[in-house]
Amino acid sequence: MRTSGIAYLLWFFGGLMGFHRFYCGRIGTGLLWFFTGGLAGVGWIIDLFLIPDMVRESNAEDAQMYGYPPPVPRSAMAAAAPANRVIYCPQCGGPMQVPANATGAQFACPKCRTVLQVPA
């Protein structure tokens, strides 16, 4: 799996020769960058903004080719994760995070081990 960090390092140190494009599997444009000096530096600057998409597309193509699932975008992970809420222990006053949909469930306070029932 390719990462944007490595692609940016290759862009910075060898971008005029297209190293970042070879890394992302774009051999044709990598050769073009290699022989034209990153399109005289203009393409090198534009690639500063295109690298995240190049890495994402390359990882998706590899996932399809080799049969493993593509990475889940962070925005989708945040949407799928249940929201948490904070309740406070009446014994010691310590905060505790519980799932928002845990109404009526019982949890032990991490500080004093008092068993708490999550209010509605």
116 or 75, greater pLDDT? 116
Number of Cβ within a 10 Å radius of residue 102: 15
Residues 12-50 have pLDDT tens digits of 999 999 999 999 999 999 999 999 999 999 999 999 999
Report the percentage of the chain scoring pLDDT > 90: 46
Pair 34, 17: CB distance under 8 Å: yes
From the list 16, 54, 57, the residue with the least C-alpha distance to 33 is: 16
pTM: 0.58
Q: What is the pLDDT of residues 37-84, one digit of tens each?
A: 999 999 999 999 999 999 999 988 888 787 776 666 666 655 656 677
